[in-house]
Chains A and B, each alone.
Chain A
């Protein structure tokens, strides 16, 4: 393969990794705080719909983004109410959120826009266009490095850069701030946090809302950045791949980025390898599609390293007994 093909595959990798990365970091906050979240998919889907619907109606990409994040935040609040305040089963709350999002987005979409669940196609004003980074055009002529800069690093939309910026920010928040320390503590030993006079409930709500914010961005990426409009079930299980990536990355931000890039690469490869032979063998695309899930299961089983989640994850905190 020559450089152009490699670059275009990697370029697709970055694009395909972005929603995974946003959703993966989203899940990281929630799960690090001890709230399992299998509702990432639903929050993204709801956000994608909210963003596309508002962007289509107002013709304003920022209002669309705001709506997407708003929808995702309120979904998170609902999930928080169930899983934190009412001490309901966190997993079941996630299932309910996923189903609610799948049903409501299609139902309202058909009702509002009468296009079989699709939102109207967006104009260039109402979606995030690709940005050209400074000097990208000038450097495009420089062999290799210039090409990498102009082809691979430049020319993505805003949300892509936000996603990759969120990695160092998350690392900093998690490991270098008081909030991050408390967040990690509340996922490992909420009793200790409570004893120190810090509210477990408040911390978990904060975490869940950050999850909502990031899922909102991920959802908006689908409908008003990568695509131009919402389509039925457009997140297509990416929320679960993000969940897999989170486990694969052992709930750590930097490994999360590399895992999402790996899973994004597999996705890009799968698109590129449609019906091509490698060494005379046709690799079924389904095998590549299933690879992220298989890898995660293998890791979870402890055959390649060991993924151990936050200790207090999945259990609502009860102050007294």
Chain B
């Protein structure tokens, strides 16, 4: 770590790596998923859109959208935390325009979601926590909320197969 590295270079490196990770997935772009970064802490944001509605009467966000959003949050959090060391040391520099520069994504083995509240027609936020990350397998827990951080609308646990090499 270079204490005197210019701040804009630090931020630029981290933000462009994160952008590369997210923009490489068409479905994530289509849903409109964004990531808010504070140091290495990520918060996924899903801005509300009419196409996310699953129950037009209530109205409520589609449960499948919540599931997809949480699965993406888990994958990005896991990839991000796995590549952090290599990114900071300069061993890799992911670039959205150079597909081969992107790290290979973990593969989902299983995904279990609990629905706790019906999703309001508002933005959704989520954070993932890598509970265990081994050489081959990883376990990630994810939480989603809307207006109140303490009132989760859903939580999920997922297992992943880590990319080889």
A binds B: no
Q: Interface residues, chain A, CB within 8 Å of chain B?
A: none
